Amino acid sequence: MAITDLPLLSMLRTRMQWSQARQQLIAENVANADMPGFRPRDLAALSFGADGTAAKAGVGLAATAAGHIVPAGADGPGADAKRFKGFEVRPSGNGVNLEEEMMKAGDNQSDYQLAASLYQKSLDTLKIAIGKR
């Protein structure tokens, strides 16, 4: 087993990859801020299962009968969790709010830096433990 195959390191790598993908979507949102009819998108939140693997997006509660209460943030079965449902839409149909996108970009950057820092510190600790440092 390679050192980089440890569950903690795998989770941190997954988190960094998720942050990279989210940053691409945020950049796309900002780039299309003036395009008529463009709706901003965002990734569903990343969560991990008990075994350390990333949980599948879209798995959760679903309203299977008319009397059921739909979970918050869902439109029912098959709802696209990656679509952003904002309140502010311009007359041109564009829903990008640059202030929100910049806040998301800042939060995403700090999340990525935290994961990268933890990854590096974990590798350093493992190197010390095996006597390579």
**Which two three-digit tokens encode residue 70?**
């739909």
Closest listed residue to residue 44, CA positions, set 73, 81, 17: 81
Position 52, amino acid: G
How does pLDDT run along the chain (133 residues), one tens digit per residue?
677 788 999 999 999 999 999 999 999 999 999 999 898 999 988 887 766 676 654 444 555 666 666 554 444 333 343 455 556 777 888 889 999 999 999 999 999 999 999 999 999 999 999 887 6
Whether the CB-CB separation of 119 and 9 falls below 8 Å is answered with yes
Which pTM does this prediction carry?
Answer: 0.70
Q: How far apart are CA 80 and CA 44, in angstroms?
A: 9
